């Protein structure tokens, strides 16, 4: 069979965190502008139904093609990746597997952190862009609708996304559960990288504490954060030791290769909780020698996140059961779509018979009520076609054979089903 005559199939091609490291994923990343160009190119090539998803964890093209390389070549053309690297780290899903893959992504089953739903917003944006560019079709519309419904159902009715999976949030959970009157304590956050910012936001979101101070080596960075969050105070780096002496909870999120907080920063008999979120550790373990100091490191906080992951793993069967419900609904819709050409052809044939018979009787019978005859025969046609659909949907029906018989009976051009694997 020539390439031109090959039927199109539904594919998902791309790469993710599972096989590709950060450098490779970066090479295959597709910018927003290039996503638009890719979709225009796909449309001009006659690809019916396609969208692009490009995030820090994955880059994928989903759509219809005669061969997956049609989609792969587009990905390579509009990214900085090459064929050799793609072959090493890629995934290619076809038909039902491609459908399953989308359900798994949207429900958090395929996320780098099990149950993480950040991908859902990115998925919506990618599809929204494809719709705007005119590269979606009825199949993709229906599939995406059900995929997002499944995602919402899993999030609302399972514990797949419950609990703590980030160190920044685990730190707050530890404080809430282990520090009495935590909302009245003075909190100092030292270091304002990504973890420091997230930790500060979590303190604001999950406690009612109003005594939060930030210190960062670059004071300008701290001031910028405080401008966005006026509930927080920015301290000066030169006053670090004084600020530590006056705090009840110290959260260290610096990114140094050696300790940034040592015994010299603390005063004797100081009652203080220190949470070291840095890796490697940025609080010298010798601070434990000071009476009143409690030091918690990343490993201890990770026990909280490990417990969460255990709970989430236990929720996988419940999530899969929900997905199966929406997948069956999609398959039902696909089945009905497959029957449409045959049912429409039968209906057209019956309508032609109806027209001929009414025309014949109107000429033969005086005062023949054409309107009444059309009403009665149209109802009969509707019932016959409905019965035909029920017959085709029956599990014991040989669909191809049934359509072949109907085609011969009513002189309909032979129809066939092109079913996805």
- Which residues does the annotation mark as catalytic? 56
Give the C-alpha separation, 253 to 276, whole Å: 7
Residues 6+ apart with CB under 8 A from 101: 12, 91, 93, 110
Give the C-alpha separation, 101 to 327, whole Å: 11
Half-sphere exposure for 15 (CA within 13 Å, toward CB):
27
**DSSP summary character for residue 398:** -
Give the C-alpha separation, 68 to 308, whole Å: 38
Q: And the tokens for 256?
A: 């140094």
Give the C-alpha separation, 104 to 117, whole Å: 11
Nearest Cα residue to 154 out of 124, 122, 110: 110
DSSP codes, 187-245: EEEE--SHHHHHHHHHHHHH-----EEEE-SSHHHHHHHHHH-TTSEEPPGGGHHHHHH
Strand order across the 9-16 sheet: 50-54, 58-65, 9-16, 91-94
What's 138-197 look like in SS3?
A: HHHHHHHHHHHHHHHHHHHHCCCCCCCCCHHHHHHHHHHHHCCCHHHCCEEEECCCHHHH
- E strands, 82-129, where? 91-94
> Residue 76: in which H helix or E strand, if any?
helix 68-77
Give the C-alpha separation, 202 to 169, whole Å: 6
Give the C-alpha separation, 99 to 327, whole Å: 8
Is residue 244 within 8 Å of residue 188, measured between CB atoms?
Answer: yes
Give the C-alpha separation, 117 to 109, whole Å: 9
């Amino acid at each position: 069979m020539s390439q031109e005559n090959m039927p199109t199939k539904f594919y998902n091609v791309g790469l993710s965190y599972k096989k590709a490291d950060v450098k490779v994923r970066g090479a295959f990343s597709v910018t927003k502008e290039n996503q638009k160009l890719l979709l225009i190119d796909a449309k001009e090539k006659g690809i019916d139904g396609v969208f692009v998803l490009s995030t820090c964890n994955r880059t994928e093209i989903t759509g219809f093609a005669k061969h997956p390389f049609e989609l792969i070549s587009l990905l390579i053309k509009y990214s900085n990746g090459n064929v050799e690297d793609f072959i090493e780290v890629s995934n290619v899903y076809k038909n039902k597997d491609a459908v399953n893959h989308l359900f798994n992504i949207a429900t958090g089953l395929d996320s780098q952190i099990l149950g993480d739903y950040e991908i859902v917003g990115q998925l919506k944006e990618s599809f929204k862009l494809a719709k705007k560019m005119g590269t979606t079709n009825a199949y993709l519309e229906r599939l995406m609708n059900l995929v997002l419904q499944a995602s919402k159902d899993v999030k609302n009715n399972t514990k797949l996304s419950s609990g703590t999976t980030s160190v920044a949030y685990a730190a707050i959970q530890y404080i809430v559960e282990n520090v009495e009157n935590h909302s009245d304590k003075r909190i100092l956050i030292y270091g304002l990288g990504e973890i420091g910012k997230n930790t500060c936001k979590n303190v604001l979101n999950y406690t009612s504490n109003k005594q939060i101070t930030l210190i960062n080596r670059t004071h300008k960075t701290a001031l910028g954060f405080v401008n966005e969050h006026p509930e927080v105070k920015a301290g000066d780096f030169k006053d670090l030791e004084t600020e530590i002496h006056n705090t009840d909870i110290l959260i260290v999120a610096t990114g140094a290769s050696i300790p940034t907080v040592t015994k010299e920063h603390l005063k004797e008999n100081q009652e203080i909780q220190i949470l070291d979120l840095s890796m490697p550790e940025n609080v010298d373990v010798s601070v434990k020698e000071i009476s009143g100091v409690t030091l918690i490191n990343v490993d201890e906080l990770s026990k909280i996140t490990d417990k969460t992951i255990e709970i989430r793993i236990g929720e996988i069967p419940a999530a899969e059961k929900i997905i199966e419900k929406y997948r069956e609904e999609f398959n039902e819709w696909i089945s009905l779509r497959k029957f449409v050409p045959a049912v429409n052809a039968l209906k057209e044939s019956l309508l032609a018979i109806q027209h001929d018979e009414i025309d014949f009787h109107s000429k033969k019978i005086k005062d023949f009520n054409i309107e009444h005859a059309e009403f009665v025969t149209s109802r009969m046609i509707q019932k016959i076609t409905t019965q035909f659909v029920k017959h085709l949907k029956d599990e014991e029906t040989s669909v191809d054979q049934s359509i072949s018989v109907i085609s011969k009976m009513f002189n309909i051009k032979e129809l066939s089903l092109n079913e996805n694997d």
